[in-house]
Copies of this chain bind each other. A is one copy, B any other.
Amino acid sequence: MSTSTTQGDTYWASINDDIKAHLNWAIRVRDPVVVFEPMHHLTFAQPKSMAPALCVAACELIGGRRAHALPAASAIHVMQAAVHVHHNLLHKGRPKPMNHGFGPNIQLLTADGLLSFGYELMVKCNDNDNLGEEYSSRVLRATIEVARALGSQGMVAGQFREVECGCDEVALGEARGVEWLRYVHEKKDGGLHACGAACGAILGGGSEEDIEKLRKYGLYVGMIHGILNGAAGRKDEGVIEMVENLGELALKELKGFNATKIGAISTFIHLILAGL
């Protein structure tokens, strides 16, 4: 492992530790406990993506403070957990075994609760801080980003495309072509990572150009993450070519940012490509 990748690991680990600490503070035990328990469990039990961490890294890249991005990053983590829980309830021919004892009713309702809790975390971004009214506008804008990434033209559109095939992810990855993979992962992981990076840039006070470049960076790295993790085992020539191409596009978007800071955020690509 190269030195830069090791530094990258440390950087992402420190961000993820801070997000986890913020979440543990935010999701305190509350009544009714029968609702709180699955909510707490499912928040931390779901597979992780780097979309929340990317929110923090994008904010820091443009000189924003980590504290300004942590609530939004935590919100994205929670909402992503909600999406996973509902995804596991979809009838896809071969349901995945669950390693918790919550039945489908509890999963359905808990994820609804998590989704609204995520929005609460988003819009409470500016509690406890004297950033003034300007920051409220940034928070509103970031919340629109999240709502669109999760909504009918984002995550839900990708999931629709999956369920209309009526089979599970592995079978889908094998049965469908590269363009199908591209569409689904652009809408799902691509959209969520793009949203994470754009939110970080918005909350950190980035320019429109910064926001759009970081959104694209997030889109490309999110698609890579989704393609490599979603279509398990599918690493044929077409997929490898697409992933490598996306990696190059992603790195191009980082040009022009603070050179000493690019190192940290760009290690994300090395981390996910290590799985190839």
Q: Which residues in A have some Cβ–Cβ distance to B below 8 Å?
A: 30-32, 34-36, 39, 83, 86, 89-91, 104-106, 108-110, 112-113, 115-117, 119-120, 123-124, 126, 133-134, 136-137, 139-140, 143-144, 146-148, 150-153, 155-157, 159-161, 163-164
A-B contact pairs, 8 of them (CB 8 A): A90-B105, A106-B163, A109-B160, A110-B156, A117-B151, A126-B140, A139-B140, A140-B140
User: Which of chain B's residues have a CB closer than 8 A to the CB of A35?
Assistant: 152-153, 156-157, 160
Closest CB in chain B relative to A67 CB, distance in Å: 18
The answer on a CB contact under 8 Å between B123 and A108 is no
Asked, given contacts A133-B134, A147-B119, whether A153 binds B31 with beta carbons under 8 Å apart, the answer is yes
User: Which of chain B's residues have a CB closer than 8 A to the CB of A133?
Assistant: 133-134, 136-137
What separation, in Å, do the CA atoms of A90 and B157 have in the docked complex? 23
User: Which of chain B's residues have a CB closer than 8 A to the CB of A153?
Assistant: 30-32, 35
A147: contacting residue among B30, B91, B116, CB under 8 A: B116
The answer on a CB contact under 8 Å between A124 and B144 is yes
A120: contacting residue among B36, B144, B161, CB under 8 A: B144
Residue of B nearest to A39 (CB): B152
Closest CB in chain B relative to A89 CB, distance in Å: 6
User: Which of chain B's residues have a CB closer than 8 A to the CB of A110?
Assistant: 152, 156
Closest CB in chain B relative to A45 CB, distance in Å: 16
What separation, in Å, do the CA atoms of A161 and B109 have in the docked complex? 11
User: Which of chain B's residues have a CB closer than 8 A to the CB of A112?
Assistant: 83, 86, 115, 150, 155-156
What separation, in Å, do the CA atoms of A224 and B34 have in the docked complex? 26
What separation, in Å, do the CA atoms of A90 and B115 have in the docked complex? 18
The answer on a CB contact under 8 Å between B104 and A123 is no
Residue of B nearest to A31 (CB): B153
The answer on a CB contact under 8 Å between B113 and A156 is yes
Residue of B nearest to A149 (CB): B116
Residue of B nearest to A120 (CB): B147
